[in-house]
């Protein structure tokens, strides 16, 4: 078992050449799909799957409870946040995978199995959260600048957090205190001023699984597992369209990618007879189905990365039997061009 994930990752994986091999224009230390804390869906898991698939690491253990979170800074460096002994530990690594600094954040309580969240801002700062009432703004050296103090119910848990291109924060919370599970989506600036918040009754206990800002500033939100709702919202929180999937078959979505032509690809699984099959679904800008396909016998797609040719790479969760984390190259029509095991 890894004693400290951040240092072990930095020491064992040189991320940059690995990603450059598949996505030369990325120039990044990790694959980021915005599903920061879903099981196997965060940047750390994606990078680990790529590295394991290529034989660069042999240890398949990446702790998932609490789930570590990654965010990529504008210069390509990565910030890793972990919950270690109920304290948030931060590690910054450069594009060669070398550790720049390590910090422990005493200002945040993370008792139990609370998973941290981290979002990188365009100015090189980043935000770390571990519960619903506190979000800390830090500079690139890991120094705390201010506490943003979320004005949300104390019974809510912060499940997802992303930064927008203009430097705002979008977060999703789940509140289990009432008869119904309540999901709240909010947008705030880095001074702690709430721009808007919307709430709805959750489809399932998982709340928001994925969310991502699109090129035009709209937000894609995936909520629920099994019976799944997919929302497209404008940047000011107005509903553009909503779709529902998985009513007849269990349908989980863990990853979102936007293509060069602004179509939306969703990665996850389709389950029949208690067997999960990797599934990709492509929607046009209006949310209409373009195609939906399954790949292989079992597993779940946990991350997607768009490619310059209009296709994308999809990584599948590791098999508990073999430890493999296959990589699929899929063309724009959904056909699998190749697989790497």
Phi, then psi, of 51 in degrees rounded to 5: -65, -40
Q: What is the C-alpha to C-alpha distance for residues 288 and 169, in angstroms, rounded to an integer?
A: 28
Question: For residues 338 and 127, which has the higher predicted lDDT (pLDDT)?
Answer: 127
Q: What is the C-alpha to C-alpha distance for residues 31 and 72, in angstroms, rounded to an integer?
A: 9
pLDDT of 82 above 50: yes
pLDDT of 123 above 80: yes
Listed range (3-7, 188-192, 254-258, 304-308) with the worst mean pLDDT: 3-7
Q: What is the C-alpha to C-alpha distance for residues 121 and 194, in angstroms, rounded to an integer?
A: 17
Question: For residues 264 and 68, which has the higher predicted lDDT (pLDDT)?
Answer: 264
Answer left, alpha or beta for residue 38, where phi above 0 means left and psi between -120 and 50 means alpha: beta
Q: What is the mean pLDDT of the chain?
A: 74
pLDDT band at 312 (very low <50, low <70, confident <90, very high): confident
For residue 269, the SS3 value is strand
Question: Read out DSSP for 74-89?
Answer: TTS-EEEEEEETTEEE
Q: Is the CB of residue 85 less than 8 Å from the CB of residue 97?
A: no
pLDDT of 19 above 90: no
Average pLDDT over residues 297-319: 77
Q: Is the CB of residue 204 less than 8 Å from the CB of residue 226?
A: yes
Closest by CA to 299, choosing from 283, 282, 331, 323, is 323
Question: For residues 224 and 199, which has the higher predicted lDDT (pLDDT)?
Answer: 199
Q: What is the C-alpha to C-alpha distance for residues 71 and 78, in angstroms, rounded to an integer?
A: 6
88: Cβ–Cβ under 8 A, 6 or more apart, which residues? 81, 82, 104, 105, 108, 110, 116, 128, 130
């Amino acid at each position: 078992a890894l004693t400290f994930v951040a240092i072990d990752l930095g020491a064992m994986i040189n991320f940059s050449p690995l990603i450059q091999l598949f996505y030369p224009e990325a120039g990044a230390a990790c694959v980021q799909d915005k599903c920061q804390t879903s099981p196997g869906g965060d940047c750390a898991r994606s990078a680990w799957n790529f590295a394991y698939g290529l034989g660069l690491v042999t240890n398949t253990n990446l702790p998932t409870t609490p789930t570590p979170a990654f965010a990529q800074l504008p210069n390509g460096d990565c910030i890793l946040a972990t919950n270690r002994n109920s304290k948030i530990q931060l590690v910054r690594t450069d594009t060669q995978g070398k550790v720049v600094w390590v910090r422990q954040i005493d200002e945040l309580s993370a008792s139990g199995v609370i998973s941290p969240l981290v979002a990188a801002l365009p100015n090189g700062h980043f935000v770390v959260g571990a519960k619903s009432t506190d979000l800390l703004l830090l500079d690139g050296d890991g120094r705390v600048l201010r506490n943003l103090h979320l004005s949300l119910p104390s019974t809510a848990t912060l499940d997802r957090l992303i930064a927008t291109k203009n430097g705002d924060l979008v977060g999703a919370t789940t509140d289990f205190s009432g008869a119904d599970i309540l999901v709240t989506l909010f947008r705030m600036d880095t001074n702690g001023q709430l721009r808007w918040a919307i709430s709805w009754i959750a489809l399932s206990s998982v709340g928001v699984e994925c969310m991502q800002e699109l090129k035009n500033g709209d937000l894609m939100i995936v909520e629920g597992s099994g019976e799944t709702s997919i929302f497209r919202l404008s940047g000011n929180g107005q509903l553009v369209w909503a779709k529902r999937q998985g009513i007849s078959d269990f349908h989980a979505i863990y990853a979102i990618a936007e293509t060069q032509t602004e179509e939306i690809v969703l990665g996850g699984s389709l389950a029949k007879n208690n067997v999960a099959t990797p599934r990709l679904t492509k929607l046009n800008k209006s949310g209409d189905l373009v195609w939906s396909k399954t790949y292989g016998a079992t597993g779940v797609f946990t991350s997607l990365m768009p490619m310059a040719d209009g296709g994308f790479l999809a990584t599948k969760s590791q098999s508990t039997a073999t430890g493999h984390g296959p990589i699929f190259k899929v063309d724009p029509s959904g056909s699998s061009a190749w697989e790497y095991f």
